[in-house]
Structure 1
Amino acid sequence: MEAQHTALPPKPGEPITGHSLQTFFPGYFALVMATGIVSVGAFLYNMKQVANILLCANVIFYIVLWAVLIFRAIKYPTDVWKDISSSSRGVTFLTIVAANNVLGNQFALMTSYKDVAIFLWEFGIVLWVMITYTFFIVITAKEPKQGVEASLSGAWLLIVVATESVAVLGAIIAGEMVHKDVTIFISFCAFLIGAMHYMVFISLIIYRWLFISMKAELLTPPYWINMGAVAITTLAGSRLLMYSHNHEWISGISYFLPGLTVFFWAFATWWIPILFLLPVWRHIIQKVPVKYDPQYWSLVFPAGMYAVATFNFSKALDLPFILPISNIFIYFSITAWVIVFAGMLREFIRFLHSEKSL
């Protein structure tokens, strides 16, 4: 009788390979998040060919990852449940929500298929409710708990990213909806919920950084979501402001939206020097090797999100002098996407060779 092996969640700082179906990393939907936001950024800067190529690629990535997720759930339900009930790995399922809504952004902004964008927004709300509440309830009820040091990372801010992705896409497609007020109200509530979650979880993360031993191996790429989560909150505020310029309901509350949006953009910008300098300490001084890890898509997404958020922020508040910052980050995010994608292809080719040699 064939022995059954159970995949365990990786230890803190351990690279996530996800080579086999059984151990496949549930946060791989960050590939769709990163590809989608870089595509949107390229579109905003009139790099139409790049934007369209990435849109086509993203549709393929989205379909393939859903197929892998469903097949894995059917073949290895125990391992999927272990991932869901892991405080370090379960939160990465929220990349599904964000990926779905970022793809919706691409369809809403770059194509004439507005119905697809509307469907993805509605589907995204269902996914958000299912995954968010499942995660919170399961982790709350689980005993024994892993503790802050073992489980808390930048990936927990995917709670914010997923919530704000609902707000961003809702604000974009609200004008196409029959019930516009309902759509924008849901988006505004998602914006506030995401902002509240950011305040809570970033406080815990900063506490973890400053007062608990933080080895170089633990400073993994998801900590870029420290910035990415507040960047997407900035984008949500900017999109709501753009909507409020022409719609009466939300214009009544738009008097405090500019201040909130500036607050979030300023905090996103504050993170950038830290996030660039810490990898220098990690890889050059502490000599942690650089090798492909699917978590690197969690670096590409915040970089692209900051570029897109800053672009929209400058337009919504008429601040043209900050636009050059977005110009820099759009090229940085495209470069980062190419490097990480090349690393993914190289890893995939190595995996195929190793399978043939068995």
Structure 2
Amino acid sequence: MGIMNPVSARWWAGLPPAAGAVVMATGIISVGLELLGHSAASVVALVLAGAVWLVLAADFAVRLVRDRGGWTTLARTPPALTAVAATCVLGTRLSLLGWHATAGVLLALSAVLWPVLLYAVMRHWKRPMPGAAFLVCVATQGLAVLAGTLALAGCGDWLGRAALVLFCLGLLLYLEALARFDPRQVWLGAGDQWIAAGALAISALAGSKLVASALWSPGVHNALRTTTLVLLAVDLGAYALLLAAELVRPRPRYDVRRWSTVFPLGMSAVAALSTATAAHVAGLRTVGEVLLWVAVAGWLLTAAGLVRTATRAEDS
């Protein structure tokens, strides 16, 4: 019971690095559900995210040991950075659950992977790039979010200062990715074009963690608050633009990159909810609630597509 049949095992093993977005999407929805008080549903989503993370982590390790050349080739592509981002999202949810030690281990693991993968990806960047280019920002801000979450939980002020450095670096990496992004992907992308918005959303979430900290002087605090609100506003604008493009040119076929659509939907919701509390802007909570249920609907539709694809793989 619970053991994959050989076909399912081969199908899972053949998933590309972009499959890490499954964990990112499911994990951030778990965070959002917890923030709204839906603890039971949040734990279910957390268990699902953790299970997929374990499968992908095992595949990551096996490829590293048995196929170093293939692993190196994959590590040069932006989707490889979902390994860092997914681990940080999972760690953030575990920290909210009170499992700070486990979250700290995941932060350490992510911090080891991050410079290796970031260097490999940026060495092989080209122009123009798809939306996956923004994962350089997402992975960096994922570290900032997890470090900031642990700092707020009392695990060390140094984590809050590290989060600030990562936050600033993540913004610089966003601008670099934006300069390389192919704007035609807004109309032609298979799902990962939404990472352009997701990167802004996770930057706003990282900013909200910093705004909630008592480490900063009033001047720094006000600058962080303003920056966070601007990031969230730009994220919501990008969200609206991408949604309009989807309505004008629908792309209903399932693609693993659609999980990179669900992640920004959920991240925008969580960023709004977190910023509402940290920046004391009550109206943002309503925005976050609406966006979270949109993200849940997107998750269900994408999960249905995943199940159909896996079933066809077993039947063939």
Question: Taking structure 2 as the reference length, what is the TM-score of the superposition?
Answer: 0.91
Does the 8 A contact of 2:134 with 2:195 survive in 1? Answer: yes
Does the 8 A contact of 1:31 with 1:61 survive in 2? Answer: yes
Amino acid at match of 1:340: T
Q: Secondary structure at the match of 1:329?
A: helix
**Whole-angstrom distance in 2 between the partners of 1:184 and 1:120:** 17
Residue 279 of structure 1 pairs with residue 246 of structure 2: yes
Residue 148 of structure 1 pairs with residue 139 of structure 2: no
Q: CA deviation at 1:197?
A: 1.2
Of 272, 294, 306, which residue of structure 2 is paired with 1:332?
A: 294
In structure 1, the partner of 2:93 is 106
**Whole-angstrom distance in 2 between the partners of 1:250 and 1:127:** 32
Of 8, 20, 33, which residue of structure 2 is paired with 1:42?
A: 33
Residue 230 of structure 1 pairs with residue 192 of structure 2: no
Cα deviations by residue, 1:331-356 (Å, 9 ceiling, x for unpaired): 011111111111111111111111xx
Amino acid at match of 1:63: L
In structure 2, the partner of 1:262 is 229
Residue 241 of structure 1 pairs with residue 211 of structure 2: yes
Of 91, 106, 120, which residue of structure 2 is paired with 1:120?
A: 106
Of 161, 181, 184, which residue of structure 1 is paired with 2:138?
A: 161
Amino acid at match of 1:265: L
Residue 318 of structure 1 pairs with residue 280 of structure 2: yes
In structure 2, the partner of 1:129 is 115
**Whole-angstrom distance in 2 between the partners of 1:48 and 1:20:** 29
Distance change >3 Å, CA 232–CA 216, structure 1 → 2: closer
The percentage of aligned residue pairs carrying the same residue is: 27
Distance change >3 Å, CA 94–CA 251, structure 1 → 2: farther
**Whole-angstrom distance in 1 between the partners of 2:52 and 2:217:** 36
Amino acid at match of 1:226: A
In structure 1, the partner of 2:261 is 299
In structure 1, the partner of 2:7 is none
Gaps in structure 2 of 5+ consecutive residues = 1-9
**Whole-angstrom distance in 2 between the partners of 1:239 and 1:275:** 26
**Whole-angstrom distance in 2 between the partners of 1:255 and 1:281:** 39
Q: Secondary structure at the match of 1:96?
A: helix
Q: CA deviation at 1:280?
A: 2.3
Gaps in structure 1 of 5+ consecutive residues = 1-17, 141-146
Instruction: Say what the alpha-carbon RMSD is for the aligned residues.
Output: 2.1
Q: Secondary structure at the match of 1:134?
A: helix
Q: CA deviation at 1:84?
A: 2.9
Does the 8 A contact of 1:219 with 1:282 survive in 2? Answer: no
Q: Report how many residues are paired.
A: 307
Q: Secondary structure at the match of 2:221?
A: coil
Distance change >3 Å, CA 250–CA 35, structure 1 → 2: farther
Q: After the TM superposition, which of the residue ranges 91-100 and 23-32 deviates more from structure 2?
A: 23-32
Residue 91 of structure 1 pairs with residue 78 of structure 2: yes
Q: How does 1:26-105 map to 2 (within 5 A)?
A: 26-85=17-76, 90-105=77-92
Amino acid at match of 2:190: T
Does the 8 A contact of 2:187 with 2:246 survive in 1? Answer: no
Does the 8 A contact of 2:130 with 2:185 survive in 1? Answer: no
In structure 2, the partner of 1:8 is none
Q: CA deviation at 1:250?
A: 6.0
Q: CA deviation at 1:216?
A: 8.2
Q: CA deviation at 1:166?
A: 0.7
Amino acid at match of 2:261: L
Cα deviations by residue, 1:315-334 (Å, 9 ceiling, x for unpaired): 11111122221111110111
**Whole-angstrom distance in 2 between the partners of 1:124 and 1:177:** 20
Does the 8 A contact of 2:20 with 2:83 survive in 1? Answer: yes
Q: Secondary structure at the match of 1:64?
A: helix
Distance change >3 Å, CA 42–CA 215, structure 1 → 2: closer
Amino acid at match of 1:255: N
Q: CA deviation at 1:76?
A: 3.8
Amino acid at match of 1:171: G
